Amino acid sequence: MTNLGTLFDEWRVAIASDSRKSGKSQLFLVMSARYLPAQHSVTYPIDIMKRTLDWIHLIAYDYHVPAEFNFTGAHAAFKLVLGLPFHGYAWTLVNPNENAIGAPSSGPGVTSDGSMGYKNIKSFIKGYGYGAAALYNSTYVVKLFVVGSTWINFDDVESIKAKISYAKENNLSGYSVFQLSNDDNWILSRAGRLLVF
């Protein structure tokens, strides 16, 4: 797994280099990962994965296999719990006029790592006054707020309700929230409670 982390670091550098040389948007670095971060006494290089990967596809099969369990089980049971973040992230755009999802960024915005709790995001948006509003993106089911070179995405009431409805309609095992202290006067929590399983 140490070599896997090194590979991801090298791929990320190569992707950035290719983008600079070609003038095209960076490619996405994606992997499929098992449902457990540790398998057979080896562990994924989680910190490197978080830093280098754009997306991780969850392998939702091989939960129960006869070589590992002495009882039968459904190997591809659909038992997902949907995670709902009460936070978002801010980026600094390279070009403020290029602000769609996937736009080049020079790194975190607003905070040192870009992370912002929901109540801080709401406060940040209010600071820009009349006419400043976040827009809902139904493809990704998130809110986007762009002002100047600052680009923020986050979940709000509309996003939370859509995701909980999706979990219910598709008979997922439920949803989990991270982190309640980021909520703003229980706005997001109340949106979720209206749709409890």
Among all chains, which residue has been given the structure tokens 């095209």?
Answer: 24
Mean pLDDT of 150-162: 93
Q: What domain range includes position 42?
A: 2-77
Please write the tens of the pLDDT for every residue from 33-42.
876 665 566 7
- Shared domain for 26 and 94, answered yes or no, is no
Alpha carbon 106 to its chain centroid, in Å, reads 19
Confidence of residue 197 (pLDDT cuts 50, 70, 90): very low
- Shared domain for 184 and 87, answered yes or no, is yes
- Shared domain for 195 and 118, answered yes or no, is yes
- The domain that contains 167 carries what CATH number? 3.10.50.10
Domain end point (choices 77, 102, 119): 77
Q: What is the Cα–Cα distance from 147 to 75, expressed in whole angstroms?
A: 47
Q: What is the Cα–Cα distance from 15 to 28, expressed in whole angstroms?
A: 8
Which letter does DSSP use for residue 14 in this model? H
- Residue 110 has what pLDDT? 94
Here the tokens at position 62 are 């091989």
Are 175 and 163 contacting, i.e. CB atoms less than 8 angstroms apart?
A: yes
Domain end point (choices 32, 61, 77): 77
Element (H, E) at 113: none
- Shared domain for 61 and 96, answered yes or no, is no
| Number of domains the chain contains | 2
- Residue 118 has what pLDDT? 96
| Alpha helix ranges (H) inside the chain | 2-22, 46-52, 118-126, 157-169, 187-193
